[in-house]
Structure 1
Amino acid sequence: MGRAEERRARQKGARRAKRAAKSGGIRRFFTWKWVLGYVLGFCALLIGAFFVLYLWVDVPPANAAAKAEANIYKYSDGTIMAKTGDVNRESVPLSKIPKKVQHTFVAAENKDFFSDSGVSFTGTARGLINTALGRGKQGGSTITQQYVKNYYLSQEQTVSRKLKELVISLKVDQQKSKDYILAGYINTSYYGRGAYGIQAAARAYYDKDVEDLSVQQGAYLASVLQSPSQYDWSAAGPNGKRLVKARWNYVLDNMVEKDWLPKSEREGMKFPVPIEPRPIPGLDGQAGYFVDSAKKELYKAGVDENEFEAGGWTVTLNIDRKKQKALEKAVRTELTDKLDPKKRKVDGDAQVGAVSVDPKSGGVVAMYGGAGATEHWTNNATRSDYQPASTFKPLILASALENGSATQDGTPITASTIYDGTSRRPVKGSDTAFAPPNEDNKSYGPISVQKAMNNSVNSVFAQMAVDVGLSKVKDTAMDLGMDGRVDNGFDVRPAMSLGVMGASPKQMAGVYATLDNHGKTVTPAIVKSAEKGDERPQLPDPVNGQSISRGAADSVTSVLTGVVDDGTGQAVRQQGQAVAGKTGTSDDNKSAWFSGYTPDLVTSVGMFGEGEKKQVSLKGTAGGGRVNGGGFPAQIWAAYTKTALSGQKASKFDLDTDMGAAVKPPPSPSTSDTSESPSSSPSASESTSESPSSSPSASESTSESPTSSPSGSPSDDASPSAPDPSSSSSAEGGFLRRDQQ
Structure 2
Amino acid sequence: MYWTTDIPEDLNSFATQQDNVYYWADGTQMTRTGWVRRQEMPLEQVPEDVRWAVLAAENASFYSDPGVSPSGILRAASRMIGGGETQGGSTITQQYVKNAYLNQDQTFSRKYTEILLALKVDNAFSKDEILEGYLNTSWFGRGTYGIQRAAQAYYGKDVSELNASEGAFLASLLKGAGLYDPALGKANHARAVERWKWTLDRMVEIGKLSPEKRATFTRFPEPTQETGGRTELDGQQGYLVELAKSYITRSGKVSEAEFDLGGYQIYTTFDKTRTEELDKAVQAARKKLDPKKRKTDTFVRTGAATVGADGRILALYGGPGQLKQGFNESNAVTVPAGSAFAPFVYAAGLTDGVVKERDAPRSPVTPESTYNGQHDAAVMTPEGPYWDRNGKMVRGKNDGGKSWGENISLRRALADSVNTPFLQLGMDVGLDRLRVHAQRAGILASSLGPQVPAFALGNSTPSAIRMATAYGTFAAKGMHTEPYSVLRVSRNGADIPMAAPEPERAFTSEVAGEVTDALRDSLDSGAGRSARVPGARAAGKPGTTEDNKAAWFAGYTETEATAVVLYRMDLHKLELIPLDGVAGNRSRTVGSTLPADIWQAYEKAMAAHSR
TM-score (norm 2): 0.63
Change (3 A) 1:56 1:566: closer
Query: 1:596 aligned to 544, 547, 555, which one?
Result: 555
Counterpart contact for 2:13–2:261, Cα < 8 Å: no
Judging changes above 3 Å, is the alpha-carbon distance between structure 1 residues 588 and 625 closer, same or farther for their aligned structure 2 residues? farther
Residue of structure 1 equivalent to 2:597: 635
> Secondary structure at the residue paired with 1:370?
coil
Structure 2: distance between partners of 1:515 and 1:465: 19
* Distance change >3 Å, CA 587–CA 377, structure 1 → 2: farther
Q: Please tell me whether the aligned partners of residues 363 and 542 of structure 1 are also in contact (alpha carbons under 8 angstroms).
A: no
Native 8 Å contact 1:389 1:584 kept in 2: yes
Question: How many residue pairs are counted as aligned between the two chains?
Answer: 413
Tell whether the 8 Å contact from 1:505 to 1:604 is kept in structure 2 after alignment. Answer: yes
Partner SS state of residue 380, structure 2: coil
Q: How does 1:512-523 map to 2 (within 5 A)?
A: 512-523=471-482
Equivalent of residue 291 in structure 1, options 221, 241, 254: 241
Equivalent position to 2:410, from 449, 452, 461: 449
The residue that corresponds to 2:278 in the other structure is 327
User: Quick one: distance in 1 between partners of 2:421 and 2:524?
Assistant: 20
The corresponding residue for 2:36 is 87
Alignment of 1:84-233 (within 5 A): 84-88=33-37
Residue 644 of structure 1 is matched in structure 2 by: 606
Q: SS of the residue aligned with 2:488?
A: strand
Structure 2 Cα separation of the partners of residues 629 and 520 of structure 1: 31
Q: What is the deviation of 1:479?
A: 0.8
Amino acid at match of 1:392: F
In 2, Cα distance between equivalents of 1:476 and 1:56? 62
Match of 2:337 in 1: 388
Q: CA deviation at 1:55?
A: 8.6
- Kept in 2: contact 1:284–1:374 (CA 8 A): yes
| CA deviations over 1:112-171 (Å, ceiling 9, x no partner) | xxxxxxxxxxxxxxxxxxxxxxxxxxxxxxxxxxxxxxx98xxxxxxx89xxxxxxxxxx
Following superposition, the deviation at residue 437 of structure 1 comes to 1.4
CA offsets 1:478-519 (integer angstroms, 9 cap, x no match):
11111223xx45211111111011111001001011111011
- 1:282 Cα deviation after fit: 2.4
Q: Is 2:349 the partner of 1:370?
A: no
Deviation at 1:280, TM superposition (A): 7.0
- The Cα shift of 1:60 comes to 3.6
TM-aligned CA deviation for residue 473 of structure 1: 0.5
2:481 and 2:529 map into 1 onto residues whose CA distance is 26
Identity rate, percent: 32
Post-superposition Cα deviations, 1:666-685, rounded to whole Å, max 9, x if no partner, equal: xxxxxxxxxxxxxxxxxxxx
AA in 2 matched with 1:342: K
**1:326-357 C-alpha deviation (Å, 9 max, x unpaired):** 11111111x22222222223322111100012
Match of 1:345 in 2: 295
Q: Which residue of the partner structure matches residue 564 of structure 2?
A: 605
SS of the equivalent of 1:610 reads strand
Shift of 1:629: 5.6
Higher RCO (C-alpha 8 Å, min separation 6)? 1
Name the aligned partner's letter for residue 314 of structure 1: Q
User: Residue 22 of structure 2: SS of its match in structure 1?
Assistant: strand
Q: Distance in 2 between matches of 1:606 and 1:430?
A: 36
Task: Give the structure 2 partner of residue 587 of structure 1.
Answer: 546
Q: Does 1:470 align with 2:431?
A: yes
SS at match of 1:568: coil
Aligned with residue 566 of structure 1, among 521, 525, 529: 525
Partner AA of 1:617 in structure 2: P
Residue range with higher mean Cα deviation, 471-480 or 608-617: 608-617
CA–CA separation in structure 1 for the residues paired with 2:436 and 2:4: 68
Which of structures 1 and 2 has the bigger CA Rg? Answer: 1
1:36-51 → structure 2 map (5 Å cutoff): none
* Partner residue, 2:262: 311
Partner of 2:582: 621
Do the aligned partners of residues 407 and 536 (structure 1) sit closer, same or farther apart at CA in structure 2, a change above 3 Å counting?
Answer: farther
Residue 535 of structure 2: aligned partner:
576
CA distance in 2, matches of 1:604, 1:460: 23
Specify the SS of the correspondent of 1:645. helix
Give the whole-Å Cα distance in 2 for the aligned partners of 1:327 and 1:384.
Answer: 20
Alpha-carbon spacing, 1:407–1:645, altered in 2? closer, same or farther (3 Å):
farther
CA contact (8 A) 2:548 2:579 kept: yes
List structure 1 segments (4+ residues) > 6 angstroms apart after TM superposition. none
Distance 1:639 1:291, change over 3 A: same
1:647 CA displacement: 4.5
- For the residue of structure 2 that corresponds to 1:615, the secondary structure is strand
Residue pairs, 1:2-81, within 5 angstroms:
58-62=7-11, 66-81=15-30
Q: Is the Cα–Cα contact under 8 Å of residues 435 and 448 in structure 2 kept in the other structure? A: no
Distance verdict in 2 for CA 1:55–1:386, change over 3 Å: closer
Q: Structure 1 stretches of 5 or more lacking a match?
A: 1-53, 90-150, 153-159, 162-278, 650-741
Question: Is 1:503 aligned with 2:462?
Answer: yes
User: In 1, distance between residues paired with 2:554 and 2:438?
Assistant: 15
Q: Are the aligned partners of 1:82 and 1:280 in contact in 2 as well (CA < 8 Å)?
A: no
Following TM superposition, by how much is the alpha carbon of 1:296 offset from its aligned partner in structure 2, in angstroms? 1.6
Q: How far did residue 306 of structure 1 move?
A: 2.2
Structure 2 partner of 1:527: 486
Q: 1:305 to 1:66 in 2, by over 3 A?
A: closer
> Cα distance 1:538–1:422, how it changes in 2: closer, same or farther (>3 A)?
same
CA drift of 1:536 comes to 2.5
Q: Which residue of 1 aligns with 2:328?
A: 379
Give 1:416's aligned residue.
368
Shift of 1:632: 0.8
1:319, 1:366 within 8 Å by CA — same for their partners in 2? yes
1:80 and 1:281 mapped to 2: Cα distance?
Answer: 15
Q: Distance in 2 between matches of 1:463 and 1:646?
A: 42
- Using the TM superposition, give the Cα deviation of residue 312 of structure 1 relative to its aligned residue in structure 2, in angstroms: 1.4
Give me the whole-angstrom Cα distance separating, in 2, the residues matched to 1:640 and 1:483: 26
536-545 or 598-607: bigger deviation? 536-545
- The amino acid of 1:345's aligned partner reads K
Tell me the residue number matched to 1:660.
Answer: none
Q: Does the CA-based 8 Å contact 1:515-1:556 persist in structure 2?
A: yes
Q: Which stretch shows the higher mean deviation, 428-437 or 373-382?
A: 428-437
Aligned equivalents of 1:561, 1:316: Cα separation in 2: 34
Cα-to-partner distance string for 1:683-703 (whole Å, 9 max, x where unaligned): xxxxxxxxxxxxxxxxxxxxx
Alpha-carbon RMSD across the aligned residues, in angstroms, is: 3.0
Q: Work out whether residues 568 and 576 of structure 2, in 8 Å CA contact, stay in contact via their aligned partners in 1.
A: yes
> 1:77: how far off?
2.3
CA deviation after TM superposition for structure 1 residue 428, in Å: 1.6
Q: Structure 2 unaligned segments of length 5 or more: list them.
A: 39-99, 102-123, 126-228, 388-393
Write the distance in 2 (CA, Å) between the matches of 1:604 and 1:436.
25
